[in-house]
Amino acid sequence: MLRAGRMSYSTYLRPRRLRMTLPLPLALLILFSGIALAHPSQTAELSSGQQKLARITVVPWPADIQAGAGQLPITQSFSISLTGYSDARLERAGERFLRNLSRQTGIPLKEYSPNAASAVLVVHTDRASLPVQDMDEDESYTLDVTSSGAKLNAPNPLGILHGFETFLQLVQATPDGFAAPAVHIEDKPRFPWRGLSMDVSRHFISFEALKRNIDGLAAVKMNVLHLHLSDDQGFRVESKVFPKLQELGSDGLYYTQTQIRELIEYARDRGIRIVPEFDMPGHSTSWFVGYPELGSAPGPYSIERRWGIFDPVMDPTRDETYKFLDKFIGEMTALFPDRYFHIGGDEVNGKQWDANAGIQEFMRAHDLKDDAALQQYFTVRVQKIVSKHHKFMIGWDEILGPGMPKDIVIQSWRGQDSLAAAAQQGYRGLLSSGYYLDGMWHASQHYAVDPMSNADAKLTSDQQKLILGGEACMWAEFASEENIDSRLWPRTAAIAERLWSPQRVQDVDSMYRRIDALSWRLEFLGLTHRSSYTAMLGRLAGTDNMAPLRLLGDLLEPASLHTREQAAIKAGEIETSETPLNRMVDAIPPESESARDFSATVNAFVASKFTDATAESILRNTFASWQQNDGQLRVRIEGNSLLRELAPISRNLALLGASGLQALNYIDNKEPAPDGWKAAQLVIINQAQAPQADVLLGVAPSVEALVQASANDPSAYGASH
Ligand code: ACM
């Protein structure tokens, strides 16, 4: 069985690329001025300020940004000073800012300027922030950059942390060296809760990998890292009270309490809260390996290696269960200072409850009519324990039911409607439906999901205040230490922008341009979303000369989790936590940049009525390279078990190349392609679009668009080629 959430999620049909069809200047004008356009003539020219803003690659886009005159050069004499309130965290932030600026420019920079008047960037902080970061704190900042200096002001250090990130992203190579454009920015977030939920149970993600990804979250102004610390496949935190949890439930892969404290400090330094999740009463097999008495069947239990929804579930009828949870939650709430404590609560199948006569008797005696009512009984009791330890309880949709106080938070994996239903009853909520990164959606698809749309848009303004924001979710069935960064980045930046920037910021092309620029910056922060692809391709190729493999890999995208699981079941194989993640599907990023570029070129060529000679020449070269690549790759594929599954895909790419070249020939000859030819190409394209080896050829839809266009009457296009 599959986790139902992901199942319904992955049955979502991958739409064709959601491309912005507006001409670029029009799109930019809408983005940057926020005005509704009455007349196309208004699009004719962009002011110099708008042109300047169009070159800026800050993500998330600020709430308000105005272009100024000139730019601030970044040279070796760049310096900063901290004025107003200061503390050790701000000083570390200043040092880190200089280090990152130095890394991303390659310019060695000195430490602080002792004298505020002579510093290039003068930082001013009004007051301290809270000792334990809270979502109600002011995160705003203003940043002024002129040709002679810059000022960053904020009410408290959180705004300064965000302003530093904005400044780093303003810096670009220009004809006169590295510089930040002159701007005036007044920025603050749209939502107070902007997070990433990471499953570290199904595959353990090392302490170091968590740290570098916290750097990534800080770069895009996210403020919550939610760690899904226990599930059927592993219990990932050291408990001193119940040590068999990690000793028997983790294969030795867990965070010590010392590491957790260090991680919390590391995150706090970057304006990020850490919210722990311990999933209960289901998704809990790993607890029962050491403590079988918690389960609703006698056991013995072993760590689950497969993926899905499993039967083991806590016994809600025994007082000992709650005594255990009271001690455990007491220990963990002392370790994790955040005000919020996540108890999961999702996907209980109830089978162990149904099969246990004592539990059935308890349900009759307490008038609990079904498994959902029994789970609610459990959740109400756990909520009292969480509350006793001075925390607000948070959980997935399933926790909402009778008897819940209004201070809990619902995290919705089911959609805006369930969030709206909760808000109508006075409950706060977070959106995660639409932000599941393991669904392998494109950034544009996540970007289109807004916490305040659908049923949430119809809430009263008081109810809307209960929508706190959202969290991207990274479930780790097919994510490992090696590829976790590429599953997270840069797509998480698109979700971060949706949660930070004003709702009117919607331009998809602008978003892609800016997250592309973020990508290289993230590598300088130590993230590995690009470098791991190269390393994994090297292993696949068995050589450093991996150009043919890279050409193919660059055009592929992983199929969804559901497609991958179904393919394995069909092949009579079960993928588990012990399956190596070393195939092409594991190496490639979720979204192909090359396929996106290719699609833009096809669109430009078709939109030009086939007159854009540059686009045509790029397309011809591309199609020819696909044809040639197959022969070069075939030599490699033979005799390499990791590559063998790619042979039919490489062949399909060559066939797409042939279709594309023929389509261009018909277009050049101003001759509509015959119906029979078109039908034959569509068969080839269809075959190339089907997932194979758990990957998809991301370019197939654009080849189809070209084939369709070539079959039209050229006079309809007025082609003058
Ligand atoms: C979930 O996807 N079951 C939270």
Question: Over the stretch 681-709, which tens digit does the pLDDT of each residue have?
Answer: 999 999 999 999 999 998 999 999 999 99
Is the pTM above the cut of 0.75?
yes
**Site to substitute for ligand 1 among 199, 309, 347, 562, most atoms within 8 A of C-beta:** 347
User: Can you tell me which residue has the tokens 């639409």?
Assistant: 434
User: Can you tell me which residue has the tokens 């001013």?
Assistant: 124
Residue type, 515: I
Burial class (CB in 10 A: 0-12, 13-18, 19+), 96: middle
CB crowding 424-460: b at 16 or more within 10 Å, else e: eeebbbbbbbbbbbbbbbbbbbbbbbbbbebebeebe
Q: Is 435 a pocket residue for ligand 1 (Cβ < 6 Å)?
A: no
CB crowding 526-553: b at 16 or more within 10 Å, else e: bbbbbebbeebbbebbeeeebebbbbbb
**Exposure of 471 in the CB half-sphere (CA atoms within 13 A):** 28
Ligand 1 atom closest to the CA of 411, numbered from 1: 4
Taking the centre of ligand 1 as the mean of its atom positions, its distance from the CA of residue 412, in whole angstroms, is 9
Question: DSSP H helical segments within 317-370, as ranges?
Answer: 319-335, 351-354, 357-365
Ligand 1 atom closest to the CA of 5, numbered from 1: 2
Residues 6+ apart with CB under 8 A from 546: 537, 538, 540
CB 267 within 8 A of CB 318: no
Taking the centre of ligand 1 as the mean of its atom positions, its distance from the CA of residue 432, in whole angstroms, is 9
Cα→Cα distances 512→46, 60, 195, Å: 20, 12, 20
CB 495 within 8 A of CB 435: yes
Residue 9 pLDDT: 33
Give catalytic status of residue 497 as yes or no.
no
Residue 545 pLDDT: 85
**Site to substitute for ligand 1 among 3, 10, 280, most atoms within 8 A of C-beta:** 3
Cis peptide preceding 155, ω within 30 of 0: no
Taking the centre of ligand 1 as the mean of its atom positions, its distance from the CA of residue 282, in whole angstroms, is 11
User: Can you tell me which residue has the tokens 């119940």?
Assistant: 242
Taking the centre of ligand 1 as the mean of its atom positions, its distance from the CA of residue 666, in whole angstroms, is 50
Ligand 1 atom closest to the CA of 283, numbered from 1: 3
Residues 6+ apart with CB under 8 A from 118: 79
Fold held by 67-187: Chitobiase; domain 2 (3.30.379)
| Stretch (H or E) spanning 586 | helix 584-587
Residue 716 pLDDT: 59
User: Atom 2 of ligand 1 has which residue's CA nearest to it?
Assistant: 5
At 581, is the secondary structure helix, strand, or coil?
coil
- Cα(462)–Cα(492) distance, rounded to whole angstroms? 29
Please, what sign has the CA dihedral across residues 633, 636, 637, 641? negative
**Site to substitute for ligand 1 among 198, 233, 346, most atoms within 8 A of C-beta:** 346
Q: Is 3 a pocket residue for ligand 1 (Cβ < 6 Å)?
A: yes
Q: Is 5 a pocket residue for ligand 1 (Cβ < 6 Å)?
A: yes
Taking the centre of ligand 1 as the mean of its atom positions, its distance from the CA of residue 411, in whole angstroms, is 10
CA angle 585, 530, 210 (to 5 degrees): 90
- Cα(302)–Cα(481) distance, rounded to whole angstroms? 23
Q: Is 340 a pocket residue for ligand 1 (Cβ < 6 Å)?
A: no
Taking the centre of ligand 1 as the mean of its atom positions, its distance from the CA of residue 511, in whole angstroms, is 28
Q: Is 438 a pocket residue for ligand 1 (Cβ < 6 Å)?
A: no
Residue spans of the chain under pLDDT 70 = 1-45, 114, 715-721
Q: CATH top-level class for 193-527?
A: alpha beta
Count CB neighbours of 64 within 10 A: 12
Taking the centre of ligand 1 as the mean of its atom positions, its distance from the CA of residue 65, in whole angstroms, is 38
CB 666 within 8 A of CB 672: yes
Residue 45 pLDDT: 66
Residue type, 701: P
- Cα(57)–Cα(336) distance, rounded to whole angstroms? 35
Per residue, the 3-state secondary structure of 215-262, as one string, reads HHHHHCCCCEEEEEEEECCEECECCCCCCHHHHHHCCCCCECHHHHHH
Taking the centre of ligand 1 as the mean of its atom positions, its distance from the CA of residue 99, in whole angstroms, is 39
- Of 589, 475, 611, 484, which is closest to residue 208 (Cα–Cα)? 484
Task: Given the residues 165, 238, 347, 471, select the one marked as catalytic.
Answer: 347
Taking the centre of ligand 1 as the mean of its atom positions, its distance from the CA of residue 6, in whole angstroms, is 7
Residue type, 400: L
User: Atom 1 of ligand 1 has which residue's CA nearest to it?
Assistant: 5
- Cα(514)–Cα(498) distance, rounded to whole angstroms? 14
Residue 650 pLDDT: 97
CB 268 within 8 A of CB 370: no
CA angle 60, 338, 523 (to 5 degrees): 35
Residue intervals in the chain for CATH 3.20.20.80: 193-527
CB 498 within 8 A of CB 61: no
Q: Is 591 a pocket residue for ligand 1 (Cβ < 6 Å)?
A: no
Q: Is 396 a pocket residue for ligand 1 (Cβ < 6 Å)?
A: yes
Q: What is the largest CA-CA distance in the chain?
A: 84
Taking the centre of ligand 1 as the mean of its atom positions, its distance from the CA of residue 584, in whole angstroms, is 27
- Of 314, 319, 309, 307, which is closest to residue 291 (Cα–Cα)? 314
Residue intervals in the chain for CATH 3.30.379.10: 67-187
Strands 80-84 and 150-154: unpaired
Residue 369 pLDDT: 97
Residue 712 pLDDT: 86
Residue 636 pLDDT: 86
